[in-house]
Amino acid sequence: MADALKIGIAGLGTVGASLARILVSRANELAITCGRPITIAAVSARDRSRDRGVDLSGAVWFETPEAMAETADIDVFVELIGGAEGPAERAVRIALSRGLHVVTANKALLARHGVELARTAEEKGVLLNFEAAVAGGIPVIKALRESLTGNTVSRVYGIMNGTCNYILTRMEKEGLTFEACLKEAQRLGYAEADPTFDIEGNDTAHKLAILTTLAFGTEIAADEIYLEGISNISIEDIHAAAELGYRIKLLGVAQRTESGIEQRVHPTMVPHDSVIAQVDGVTNAVAIESDILGELLMVGPGAGGNATASAVLGDIADIAKSRPGAQRVPVLGTPAENLAPYRKAQMQSHEGGYFIRLTVLDRAGVFASVATQMAQNGISLESIVQRANGGAPTDAKTIILVTHATSEDSVRRAVAGIKSGSYLAGEPQVIRIERPKAL
Ligand code: HSE
């Protein structure tokens, strides 16, 4: 049997500890599958004394990830610390420059520095694997980077944040408050260290930026993503969506349009009978639409220790199975030097259906005025209903509109017109509608 692959793990939190337990408990099976043993030769974590349910006494402990990257006797640096800057970034740069393979689950790091890191890895002839960075255990990176080569992708979208999907599902199904659901997601180890990254959509945006590059062969453009989180979604929206035959999901969507590539993250209404609408809890789903294959939908566990560790383990196993001198798969699917510049499609030109919920004062002419604003902006309506309940104060009414496909610009102008009518009793709620092709 070939020599052992020596790995160093930086970060022994939820994911790092799961990974270490799996590597130790499945050592024999892994050695057979990979043709060589995988050993944990080095670790770096803040708290050395914590019981993690695994014996790491055989590994060399390092005070900092940077020191481990610089001096440890390892073949692979596994970064499970997180964060776009700071120790994780410094250590990954050191490891790559030293010619070590790197495996990371760090979406923020890749969204910010991915192209540069890919270039370094390619120059050094080492692998930079990051399957766990997007959609937890779902092998979507491999699908885009390798399996769909030659396809022209038109749209990639999905539920990529387990915490948000968990919150939206429990609010809808159990009537729990947003805060109670978030606390539970944190307790279960799904949420980011700072959960505003989850609920404000930043985490989904980081993942989307990575998928966009893999899908369209363009440079990473995380700062060009239109972003709205779920903190503004009320139980009234969820109920109204259900009545109209939709469910609300936080989606990340990247789409090829005539004017460029559209990247957006926002709460989205998806038709109740679509597969993605049925994806509940911490589960993630990623749909890829391409010309040769057609529509592909991958669904699976999106966050948590074992789901993420499974993807990290797959990346480590790929390195264990590869042979020195073998041709490397480009880190981002396309060699970093061949990535095209990102051409942004403006959000104003986004075309799609919209759900608009208005809380209006109960007086004559309001309904007609709302309808007029829609007509003046060329917006065709699929439905418009007015009701006395729906969470509106007692002296107000709720009007819910669902539009046929129209432009973001038209909707913004219509809503501005409605706002200037001085009959609103609350902020209008606007939620975009996304329609899967067939699934
Ligand atoms: N906080 C992330 C989520 C973890 O909830 O999906 C996985 O990236």
Instruction: Indicate if 276 and 402 belong to the same structural domain.
Output: no
Band of the pLDDT at 27, cuts 50, 70, 90?
very high
Residue 17 has pLDDT above 70, yes or no: yes
- Percent of the chain predicted with pLDDT > 70: 99
The tokens for 359 are: 């809380």
According to the model, what pLDDT value does residue 135 have?
97
Instruction: Indicate if 314 and 257 belong to the same structural domain.
Output: no
Terminal C-alpha separation, the chain: 46
Number of domains in the chain: 3
Nearest protein CA to atom 1 of ligand 1, as residue: 191
According to the model, what pLDDT value does residue 140 have?
98
Q: pLDDT by residue (tens digit) across 301-349?
A: 998 899 999 999 999 999 999 987 777 899 999 999 999 999 999 999 9
Instruction: Indicate if 224 and 157 belong to the same structural domain.
Output: yes
According to the model, what pLDDT value does residue 313 have?
98
Give the relative orientation of helices 235-243 and 162-174 as an angle to the nearest 10 degrees: 70
Q: How far apart are CA 259 and CA 244, in angstroms?
A: 32
Instruction: Indicate if 285 and 363 belong to the same structural domain.
Output: no
Q: Ligand 1, residue 166: give the atom nearest the CA.
A: 5
Q: How far apart are CA 350 and CA 430, in angstroms?
A: 14
Instruction: Indicate if 293 and 160 belong to the same structural domain.
Output: yes
CB 129 within 8 A of CB 256: no
Check residue 143 and report its DSSP letter.
Answer: I
Decide if 144 is inside a domain.
Answer: no
What is the separation of C-alpha 182 from the centre of its chain, rounded to a whole number of angstroms?
Answer: 17
Report how far ligand 1's centroid is from the alpha carbon of 296 (Å).
Answer: 22
Band of the pLDDT at 128, cuts 50, 70, 90?
very high
Whether 183 sits among the annotated catalytic residues: the reply is no
* Kind of pairing between the strands at 38-44 and 60-62: parallel
* Pure H helices in 322-385: 366-376
Q: How far apart are CA 400 and CA 429, in angstroms?
A: 9
* Candidates 6, 107, 142, 207; catalytic one: 207
Helix, strand, coil shares, percent, the chain, to 5: 40, 25, 35
**To 10 degrees, the CA torsion angle through 137, 150, 250, 111?**
70
Pocket residues: Cβ below 6 A from ligand 1: 136, 161-163, 190-192, 198, 203, 302-303
Among 110, 187, 190, 202, which residue has the most ligand 1 atoms within 8 Å of its CB, making it the best to mutate? 190
Decide if 344 is inside a domain.
Answer: no
Q: How far apart are CA 421 and CA 423, in angstroms?
A: 6
Instruction: Indicate if 17 and 30 belong to the same structural domain.
Output: yes
How large is the average pLDDT for residues 381-390?
Answer: 81
According to the model, what pLDDT value does residue 394 have?
66
Instruction: Kindly report the CATH number assigned to the domain that includes residue 242.
Output: 3.30.360.10
Nearest protein CA to atom 4 of ligand 1, as residue: 303
Residue type, 159: I
Q: How far apart are CA 90 and CA 69, in angstroms?
A: 9
According to the model, what pLDDT value does residue 391 have?
59
Instruction: Indicate if 172 and 109 belong to the same structural domain.
Output: no
Q: How far apart are CA 315 and CA 100, in angstroms?
A: 14
Band of the pLDDT at 164, cuts 50, 70, 90?
very high
Instruction: Indicate if 282 and 182 belong to the same structural domain.
Output: yes
**CA count, 13 A, side-chain hemisphere, 287:** 25
Domain assignment of residue 407, given as a range: 349-433
Instruction: Indicate if 131 and 45 belong to the same structural domain.
Output: yes
300-to-31, 160, 251, 256 alpha-carbon distances in Å: 26, 10, 15, 25
Q: pLDDT by residue (tens digit) across 78-107?
A: 999 999 999 999 999 999 999 999 999 999
The strand ranges marked E within 258-332 are 260-271, 283-290, 294-301
Q: CA-based Rg of the chain, rounded to a whole angstrom?
A: 24
Using alpha carbons only, what angle is made at residue 328 by residues 71 and 302, rounded to the nearest 5 degrees? 80
Cβ count near 278 (within 10 Å): 13
Q: How far apart are CA 207 and CA 191, in angstroms?
A: 15
The tokens for 436 are: 């899967």
Cβ count near 165 (within 10 Å): 26
CB 159 within 8 A of CB 302: yes
Using alpha carbons only, what angle is made at residue 179 by residues 419 and 225, rounded to the nearest 5 degrees? 55
Q: pLDDT by residue (tens digit) across 399-434?
A: 999 999 999 999 999 999 999 988 999 999 999 999
Q: pLDDT by residue (tens digit) across 210-225?
A: 999 999 999 999 999 9
Report how far ligand 1's centroid is from the alpha carbon of 145 (Å).
Answer: 21
According to the model, what pLDDT value does residue 59 have?
97
Please say which residue of 289, 317, 338 terminates a domain.
Answer: 338
pTM equals 0.95
Q: How far apart are CA 397 and CA 238, in angstroms?
A: 17
Band of the pLDDT at 386, cuts 50, 70, 90?
confident
How large is the average pLDDT for residues 249-262?
Answer: 97
